Amino acid sequence: MVAGLIVICGPTATGKSRLALDLATRLDTIILSADSRQVYRELDIGTAKPTAAELAAVPHRLIDICEPTATLTLADYQSRAQGILAQRDDLPLLVGGTGLYIKAIAQGLKIPRVPPQPELRGQLAALGQGYCYPMLQQVDPMASAKIHPNDSTRTIRALEVFYVTGRPISEQQGECPPPYPVLYVGLDGAGLKARIAERVGAMMAAGLVAEVQGLGDRYGFDLPLLKTLGYGEICQYLQGGISLEAAQDLIIRNTAQFAKRQRTWFRANPQIHWFEMEAEDLGARVWETVTEWRSLPLGATGDSE
């Protein structure tokens, strides 16, 4: 069993990967990706996957483990990650901005093992959110209280679990914290929008348009992953809906909005030790925090900054 787990989290473009590479090198350990799109093969530029040099410098796991046409559920991800951690005895790093992925591992979310039911989902979607949400209120009022009335994705998932298992999803959820200590390191800063614009520009220069075109040619432009951030906007350009400049501006704007939602999610966790992403001594300060944490008695977490 691992000696502990270090989580590096925060909004997109805050430098999590760069910090993780430095820290993993010092600790001589591996990096587990906590990015819900980096798990898919062929989505490279638009998901800011590690470069070949970075992959060679530090072992990475949970990247390129699923075909673009398949679906990797949260339960699948949790099972794979826990399987890797069970074989380690060091301090692996869990790095990324997908809050549910991190929560599934670091807090041990209990996830109903119900695979997607395409036919059932289609039937529920056809009924519409105006019908499905009141239905959920009847069969699982606890779940409906936590789901926004306009959130059709979570509404359908909750109904899906209920109809497949016969039990409300709220009865099957909860947490089972891991038996090892967890240190949370968060990165954030005021200059995030400029960094997002810089990253998007780098993606465009690296060939994002060609990547999207290739994916569309191979799998069709109705591929669900091509409707996600960075890919959907380029699809609009390729299909003649907007100019390339407008697509790039839209990616920047939508990414900034996404980062804002990530910030809200992670700021709700009081265990996270926050660091300024632009700090010149960032690496030294994080290493000091890791060193202090490692000296604590087993199970202690320390106070967040």
Interval 42-89: pLDDT, tens: 999 999 999 999 999 999 999 999 999 998 989 999 999 999 999 999
pLDDT at position 299 is 47
Please indicate, yes or no, if residue 300 is contained in any of the structural domains: no
Same domain as 163, residue 20: no
Quick one: how many helices (H) and strands (E) in the chain?
14, 6
Percent of the chain with pLDDT over 90: 91
Mean pLDDT, residues 201-229 taken together: 97
pLDDT at 228 over 50: yes
pLDDT at position 226 is 97
pLDDT band with cut points at 50, 70 and 90 for residue 119:
very high
Same domain as 234, residue 184: yes
CATH code assigned at 148: 1.10.20.140
pLDDT at position 148 is 92
pLDDT at 127 over 80: yes
Same domain as 99, residue 240: yes
Q: Helix, strand, or coil here: 239? A: coil
pLDDT at position 173 is 84
Please indicate, yes or no, if residue 23 is contained in any of the structural domains: yes
Same domain as 19, residue 152: no
pLDDT band with cut points at 50, 70 and 90 for residue 1:
confident
Cα 186 from Cα 11, distance rounded (Å): 9
- Cβ contacts of 224-232, under 8 Å, gap ≥ 24: 225/37, 225/40, 225/43, 225/68, 228/37, 229/46, 229/254, 229/255, 229/258, 230/46, 230/47, 230/200, 230/203, 230/255, 231/43, 231/46
Bridge partners, 5 (sequence order) = 182
Interval 89-102: pLDDT, tens: 999 999 999 999 99
Percent of the chain with pLDDT over 70: 97
Same domain as 125, residue 93: no
Mean pLDDT, residues 223-228 taken together: 96
Same domain as 197, residue 155: no
pLDDT at 185 over 80: yes
Domain span at 199: 5-110+176-294
pLDDT at position 304 is 44
pLDDT at position 300 is 54
Interval 252-302: pLDDT, tens: 999 999 999 999 999 999 999 999 999 999 999 999 999 999 998 754 555
Same domain as 239, residue 151: no
pLDDT at position 301 is 53
Q: Which is it for the CA torsion 259, 265, 269, 271, positive or negative?
A: negative
pLDDT at position 298 is 59
Q: What is the count of structural domains for the chain?
A: 2
Strands 272-276 and 31-33: unpaired
Mean pLDDT, residues 176-192 taken together: 95
Same domain as 146, residue 100: no
pLDDT band with cut points at 50, 70 and 90 for residue 305:
very low
Average pLDDT of the chain, as a whole number? 94
Looking at per-residue pLDDT, the higher value among 172 and 23 belongs to 23
Same domain as 285, residue 198: yes
